[in-house]
Structure 1
Amino acid sequence: MCGAAALAPGLARAASDLSSDTDVVIVGAGAAGISAAHALAGEGVRHVLIEAGSRVGGRAFTESETFGVPFDHGAHWVQNQERNPYFNRAKASGHRFYKATEAYRIFRDGAEVSEAEAGRLWEVWDEVYGAITEAGKAGEDVSAASVSPSGDEWAQTAWFGIGPWEMGKDLKDFSCADWWNSADSVDWYCAEGYGTLVAEHAAGLTVALETPATRIRWGGQGVEVETPRGTVRAKAVIVTVSTGVLAAEGIVFEPALPVETQEAIHAIPMGDYNHIAVQLSEDIFGMGEDGYLLHHVGEDGEAFGALTNASGTGLAYCDVGGSFARELEEAGEEAAVDFVMGKLRGMLGGDVDRHFVKATATAWTADPLFRGCYASAAPGGYPMREVLRRPVGERVFLAGEACHGDLWATVGGADLSGRDTARAVALAVAG
């Protein structure tokens, strides 16, 4: 199942009778909200799950209408197999699920680099990686840029790979300590799309779609969650929207959240990361399925890294991150596609245009339901992740990838955060 706004079997598009009295309201039907709903159901706790958008899955969204093949608008790499619940779900799904390969082609000035040049890039990459690791391991809550070596002709390329391409942020914008305290992982792919796995996990849940929470009152003994379709009263609320939405005050809290909670929201900001997807009629990259394409990055930092021929579909995910991703998103889809196509022509010549079928670009930062890709601590913000997880008045609970201790920025982390938070809420409302 990979429809653009398709619902997993058993989902209600918009529950027609939003209960005005329940135990728990879950705000957001992404991976965290879905997991929280399953956990509360398992505990026999009455709950209502509301979602501002017209679909489930949040930042994990797969559709086939654009290209005729599964296209992941957001999450694509299935990580952390030992702990990510979606790893076993993918294995049991019947979809093609397989380990990622590590084939690379690297270009500079319109030509593929020599083995020696590629070797130098990986040496510099390891030096930057090692410097951030050393600082993070020592507990230095400073920017990755402040400790990373520079000056080498390949330094900017390594900075791009570790920062914008991996983190969705420039090196100056994330904390070494937070980076160090994230789980290592091996990547796997689901050919039908990560978003498909998440939507299928929502099967059987009742979700009130197109029902945003506009205001949450928590000053009394319980909570009141205002929506355009009425107010839901409950003992507690689990809020799974992104820190970007919270920082932009997409939901009004009355009274305002405690100062330390607000500080934590702003200390764990969203990054910027978009797929500029290009469909080609033939695999002109010559790496088979799921190869990686990288080019030398100059001082301007204007770069993309590509996953080519994803799952053999002919799609190339040409990904941008950090401040340049914001600039391209503001410039619009046409500018984003033009940038990528120009770079590809410079690397691969006329084959790019001969085999071009279609292209599109995502725009996660501008989307008011998300305001970015995934969250990581700003320099100095690492201790605030624990603050973000603290319940407010034993009535307001935040959950999602940003709240997980070391699986942040992952779908698995969001799932586990939703599950664990729901279990804590079940105990709280029972008392």
Structure 2
Amino acid sequence: MDSKELFSNNLLDGKIVPHVQREQDSLPSVIVIGGGISGVAAARTLYDASFKVILLESRDRLGGRIHTDYSFGCPVDLGASWLHGVCNENPLAPLIRGLGLTLYRTSGDNSVLYDHDLESYTLYDMDGHQVPQQMVIEVGETFKRILEETGKVRDEHTDDLSVLQAISIVLDRLPELRQEGLAHEVLQWYLCRLEAWFAADADMISLQSWDQASAEHVLSGGHGLMVQGYDPIIKALAKDIDIRLNHRVTKISSGCNKVMVTVEDGTSFVADAAILTVPLGILKAKFIEFEPKLPDWKVAAISDLGVGNENKIALRFDKVFWPNVEFLGVVAPNSYACGYFLNLHKATGHPVLVYMAAGRFAYDLEKLSNESTVDFVMSQLKKMFPDATEPVQYLVTRWGTDPNSLGSYSYDFVGMPEDVYERLRAPLGNLFFGGEAVSLENQGSVHGAYSAGVMAAENCQKLLLKKLGDIEMFPLGSIRGEILKDSVPLQISRM
């Protein structure tokens, strides 16, 4: 009888499993489930602390919702692409410095909500006419005032509302803030950008918590694009780790101080503990069976947090025909119809535009074929530039229906309980939880996912070493010390 069968049989009747022996080196063992940056960071932390660690990933690549594509002849991030908080306090800064990666700053400290400020942009209406920049600035100030007024609405309501409901209440109270004609379309474009930050529509976003990140947790430095993409960080963290790609986990069984993880082909892995870092969308879909079943409070936490969707359509051209600005926008009568192009040529020198779509619109685009999606995006572009050439290559993402993600990143849903993050992060015995969704202060961000993975690994270490009584034998791992030997400044540019 092999160890897998022994574990399975004894797990069912709750007996102690004396037959499942440690490996000859007697190292504590951990299975990390999910190969996004949170899972890879957890595995790195455990590996550096001399634990036995194996990482199981369902895809044929690492990175998860980080995916740097090189088919254009240059790096294009199809998932996460920004560093939110371009400063040395960002937990990813030592890795970025140590690897010599370059950041292209797209906003300053005053832009907490948007990836870009308004230093380098051009907006157009649906007929292709350029919107006067003074109007964009003035409407931007009005939108800021509207958002400030929603704080008063929040204070007056004990029950949560959506951000869109609050905006409607503000405009009813202060009709002078309403905009007409082209100015209304610009206001809708600002709302579109707010929705893109959460990857969700404004009628889904919680008024209670959308802007409640406390000042001490908001990193300085604005936002910066990873010029070489995020892939170098994933590769550095994954070095020497025992990684099994194409291993889709279907069941997690825990008990008797052991965890057994079963993958799609029936193979099982046994360890002292496991760290689960799969996307929240996968947990919501119940693609993984738990034995024993998850407690009701954990199931409720998974249900109470929202999952947004943001897709990218990357277009490579043979020549640049657009202005030398960081982004191009299309204003429209409602936020759903507004558009946004990121100009990678400005940041990287390559003739690439990336169209961004979020929320319901992102899901609707996924219903189209890749060709039809590109045709739609090009129709938007040709409204601005009638002589636009056809792309020589394109890439289309489908994060919302990707069976390995089922969404892009988490957001605070209307009516979300205050303790949802604590419940989502809380371990169940020797099963720990990571991923961007469990990060209270930095959910939806790469550095939040990274920190959550490190935290889960450190908590896992402490539990296992306490049980073993060997807490002095295995020092807590230090990713910074392993990869970063000398402190060098962040390389930041803005052309």
> Which is worse superposed, 43-52 or 105-114?
43-52
State the distance in 2 between where 1:201 and 1:122 align: 40
1:66-85 counterparts in 2 under 5 A? 67-82=72-87, 83-85=89-91
1:267 to 264, 279, 304: 304
State the distance in 1 between where 2:415 and 2:64 align: 28
Measured at CA, do residues 376 and 47 of structure 1 come closer, stay the same or move farther in structure 2, by a change above 3 Å?
A: same
Per the alignment, residue 148 of structure 1 pairs with: 167
1:19-98 counterparts in 2 under 5 A? 23-65=29-71, 67-82=72-87, 83-98=89-104
How far is 1:330 from its partner? 1.6
Per the alignment, residue 403 of structure 1 pairs with: 438
Letter in 1 for 2:73: G
Q: Which runs of 5+ in 1 are unaligned?
A: 1-18
Per the alignment, residue 126 of structure 1 pairs with: 144
* Contact persistence 1:135–1:177 (CA under 8 A): no
State the distance in 2 between where 1:258 and 1:89 align: 37
Letter in 1 for 2:45: A
Measured at CA, do residues 363 and 38 of structure 1 come closer, stay the same or move farther in structure 2, by a change above 3 Å?
A: same
Are 1:331 and 2:368 counterparts?
A: yes
* Larger Rg over CA atoms: 2
How many residues align? The count is 406
State the distance in 2 between where 1:298 and 1:215 align: 47
Q: Which runs of 5+ in 2 are unaligned?
A: 1-20, 108-118, 172-177, 468-495
* Contact persistence 2:38–2:454 (CA under 8 A): yes
State the distance in 2 between where 1:98 and 1:254 align: 46
State the distance in 2 between where 1:234 and 1:275 align: 38
How far is 1:307 from its partner? 0.9
State the distance in 1 between where 2:133 and 2:446 align: 36
State the distance in 2 between where 1:272 and 1:398 align: 22
Measured at CA, do residues 382 and 179 of structure 1 come closer, stay the same or move farther in structure 2, by a change above 3 Å?
A: farther
Per the alignment, residue 286 of structure 1 pairs with: 323
State the distance in 2 between where 1:315 and 1:423 align: 41
Secondary structure of the residue that 2:225 maps to in structure 1?
strand
Are 1:303 and 2:338 counterparts?
A: yes
* Contact persistence 2:192–2:335 (CA under 8 A): no
Per the alignment, residue 241 of structure 1 pairs with: 278
State the distance in 2 between where 1:174 and 1:89 align: 33
How far is 1:131 from its partner? 4.0
Secondary structure of the residue that 1:178 maps to in structure 2?
coil
State the distance in 1 between where 2:464 and 2:40 align: 19
State the Cα deviation string for residues 342-391 of structure 1 (Å, max 9, x = none). Answer: 111011111x12x6322221111111111111111211115212211111
State the distance in 2 between where 1:266 and 1:199 align: 33
1:174 to 188, 197, 205: 205
Letter in 2 for 1:148: I
* Contact persistence 1:62–1:196 (CA under 8 A): no
Measured at CA, do residues 200 and 123 of structure 1 come closer, stay the same or move farther in structure 2, by a change above 3 Å?
A: same
Letter in 2 for 1:104: Y
2:121 to 90, 99, 104: 104
* Contact persistence 1:243–1:270 (CA under 8 A): yes
* Contact persistence 2:191–2:335 (CA under 8 A): no
2:351 to 303, 314, 319: 314
> Which is worse superposed, 231-240 or 90-99?
90-99
- The percent identity for this pair of structures is 26
Letter in 2 for 1:390: A
* Contact persistence 2:44–2:237 (CA under 8 A): no
Secondary structure of the residue that 1:277 maps to in structure 2?
strand
1:357 to 374, 392, 395: 392
State the distance in 2 between where 1:93 and 1:128 align: 42
Per the alignment, residue 213 of structure 1 pairs with: 249
State the Cα deviation string for residues 52-76 of structure 1 (Å, max 9, x = none). Answer: 11111111111212x1211111011
Per the alignment, residue 8 of structure 1 pairs with: none
Secondary structure of the residue that 1:366 maps to in structure 2?
coil
State the distance in 1 between where 2:161 and 2:153 align: 8
Secondary structure of the residue that 2:164 maps to in structure 1?
coil
How far is 1:196 from its partner? 3.0
Letter in 2 for 1:322: G
* Contact persistence 1:61–1:196 (CA under 8 A): no
TM-score of the aligned structures, taking structure 1 as reference length: 0.88
Secondary structure of the residue that 1:331 maps to in structure 2?
coil
Letter in 2 for 1:120: E
How far is 1:279 from its partner? 1.4
Q: CA RMSD in A?
A: 2.3
Secondary structure of the residue that 2:356 maps to in structure 1?
strand
Letter in 2 for 1:173: M
